[in-house]
Amino acid sequence: MSSPAKERNNQLKSAIAVASSAIPLASGTGAAAQSSENSSVSETTPTAPPIAEQRPYSYSCHGITIEDPYHWLKDPSYPVIEDAGVLDYVKAENAWFEAQMAPHKDRVERIFAEMRARLKEDDASVPVKDGDWEYWSEYEAGKEYRKYYRRPVGGGETQLYLDVNQLAEGHDYISINDISVSRNGRYVAWSVDKDGAERYTVYIKDLETGEMLPDVIEDTNTDLVWAANDTMLIYGRANKNWRVENVRVHRLGTDAGEDVQIYTEHQLGFTAEAGLSANEQWIVISTGDNETSEAWLLPASNPLAEAQLVRARETGVEYAVDVRDDTLFILSNRDHVNFSVHTAPLSDPAAWTTLIGGSDDFYLTGLSLFRDFYVTEGRLAGLDQVQVRYYDEPGRMDQIEFPEASYSAGLGANAEWAMDKLRLNYESMITPDTVYDYDVATRELEVLKVQKIPSGFDPSLYTVERLQIPVRDGTLVPVSIVYRKDREMGGPLHLYGYGAYGYAVAPGFSTTRFSYVDRGMAYAIAHIRGGDDLGRRWYLQGKMEERTNTFNDFVDVARGLVRLGYTGEGRISAAGRSAGGELMGAVVNQAPELFGAVVAGVPFVDVLGTMLDESLPLTPGEWPEWGNPVTSKAAFTHILSYSPYDQVVAQDYPPMLVTAGLNDPRVTYWEPAKWVAKLRVTKTDDNVLLLKTNMGAGHAGRSGRFESLREDAEEAAFIFWQLGVSD
């Protein structure tokens, strides 16, 4: 179990490295099944960028009329893209991207080679015990995807139970949403998406016989939970608008059309999913949006029983629940913005008693139950904390100490109820990913694995700092920064930010980052409001009517880094993805002179247009984050005031690389396409503006570990080109 402010910790899933990106994603829609080719380059190399046609279109809301001459780029047949004009424009932009990057292909290859050389190609995860088996995953040298293995505890024959490389054969994209082995170890179920549309198909394999079951479940988008002595599989199915408003039970050996719907969500914007309690005795059905949640309980032995409500939903109240014996443990913001922990009898789940009170200083982000103790996770002054607590000693708390002053740490793969050692993950900006076992009795840490950097890595060459930069309203914004000790002050600097959904960008380790740092750049992370880096209030100060704090913080951090001598105006490259791409769009509108290059990945830039269209899959659930401009004029005018697409003006803009995914169901392809089209004819400079659309992928870009790394290399090459950074 975890806080609603932190992605739920799926222990076994973490162990075998199934989970994709932890970052929360901005609103968008749809999925398109299109050409598997990444780009279509015309036979003749273009000598000028494409200029999209402007077609008259306007709409009015709250007495305000908005002109949108690029509205036509949204294909009305979406998620099928069949408008020839739309496809021609997207392909023309891809051809322009290829033409402009062609002189830099050798550099892209060099950067890609050095990034790849930092990866241990035949890497394996640390095995995790779960019942009678140990589970782990491995990469083979040269392979794009993982293989999943297990062996009997104590030794025995190793069994390959899933090879994602085989699943990917014949496909340019593949993503695994979940892999779930039944409790008795006989079956494995997995869900796979082969075009980036985030509609996953479930398959089931009998691990005793090696045969695939005929059971196939289409259009899922949740975790997979085994129940009823492994005779049933629980999941959520996405409707035509990608919303998961139901929880269903599939009985093994039956047609999916006969599956029973055990929970139905009727509130627009809420999504539902099912999980398993830590003691594996209860199914927990969770439903909610970005600010409100509700939970129901069902016995895992009989998921067709009547569900028991924990606490009725109340707008603004979030909670998550787990079970030990006859007691519920609840993590909630009901009594304190930074969350507190409560208990309640299973017989009266709404009767909460406070176990751990909320704190203005300590932000509770996670609660995980084990048989003999429980663990709270959180942040103090922006740094991760892991604490072991005891059921029979309420006042005792063992803080796990970590060796550095700035780091990222948390629970790793802990698949079992009865544990005497906890698996932990730890890293910092100069410490590669490290897997520990923490002995609860002796309070000692044992190193199990440290990420290897085959090409070599010497942390003594680098300096890490944690700055506090004042912004325009007097708030101190933390900044994590790493650079080589021999770097000259005032040189180029890369600044990364996100700032939405209460997602904290941790000061962790990145192998790709050192392609920047080893070329004399500093690399900085701005922990701006909108994330929850400094607690829940830090998040709330960057959403809804206070959304512009996020953009102002980023701009003022950039100016502060110039003022402190770390870099100079125009020598900063900036990057962000999704809602972080919205951030990029807002800051180049506000202060374009600061930046010498900007990468906006799948940017959520048509904020007003998307938030007005409640037919789009994620829009209703996003209103608590951004505001509802359909019903509120105040929300309409506020979003209009910062929506990057709507606020493009005639001014100089920095060189920009914008990416999109034609099958992206979160930030649809037309948002970056419209934005780039408008920028082309409005901006007053001659700086490079590129749009690259992945024609066979979605929000996360290319799926293979090397293919995705090549895109990182392209982005780095673009930035070095524009900033004049040499090899």
Q: Which two tokens stand for residue 209?
A: 């016989």
Structure tokens belonging to residue 340: 């507190």
The token pair at 300 is 């895992």
In a domain, residue 185? The reply is no
pLDDT at 15: 32
- Residue 349: inside a domain, yes or no? yes
pLDDT at 614: 87
Residue 204 falls inside a structural domain: no
Consecutive H or E run containing 111: helix 105-117
Note whether residue 73 is domain-resident. Answer: no
Any idea which residues carry the catalytic annotation? 578, 664, 699
Task: Provide the pLDDT for residue 43.
Answer: 57
Q: How confident is the model at residue 302, as a pLDDT? A: 96
Cα distance between the two ends of the chain? 47
Task: With respect to residue 425, please indicate whether it lies within any of the assigned structural domains.
Answer: yes
pLDDT value for 700: 56
Task: Say which residues have a Cβ less than 8 Å from residue 710's Cβ, sequence separation at least 6.
Answer: 108, 112, 702
Blockwise average pLDDT, block size 10, the chain, 727 residues: 38 32 33 37 79 97 97 91 94 97 97 96 96 96 94 94 93 90 96 88 96 95 95 93 91 95 94 96 95 97 96 97 97 97 96 97 97 97 96 94 91 96 97 97 96 97 97 97 96 97 95 97 98 96 97 98 98 97 98 98 96 87 93 98 98 97 86 98 98 78 79 97 95
Rounded Cα–Cα distance for residues 36 and 702 (Å): 11
- Where do the DSSP E strands lie in 240-307? 246-251, 260-264, 271-276, 282-288, 293-299
Nearest to 662 by CA among 30, 228, 89: 30
Taking CA atoms, 113 is separated from 165, 261, 706, 710, 715, in Å, by 22, 50, 10, 9, 14
Query: What are the backbone angles phi and psi of residue 469, rounded to the nearest 5°?
Result: -110, 125
Answer whether residue 168 is part of any domain. no
Distance CA 540, CA 550 (A): 11
Q: Would 47 be classed as within a structural domain?
A: no
Q: Is residue 306 part of a domain?
A: no
Range of the domain at 444: 1-14+317-450
CA atoms of 74 and 52, how far apart (whole Å): 13
589-620: b (≥16 Cβ within 10 Å) or e = bbbbebbbbbbbbbbbbbbbbbbbeeebbbbb
Residues written for the chain: 727
- CATH number, domain with residue 423: 2.130.10.120
Q: What is the DSSP letter of 520?
A: T
Longest dimension (CA), the chain: 75
Cβ proximity of 86 and 93 under 8 Å: no
Q: How far apart are CA 169 and CA 125, in angstroms?
A: 23
Domain count, the chain: 1
CA–chain centroid gap for 160, Å, is 28
- Quick check: 661 and 158 in contact, CB under 8 A? no
Phi, psi of 365 (to 5 degrees): -115, -15
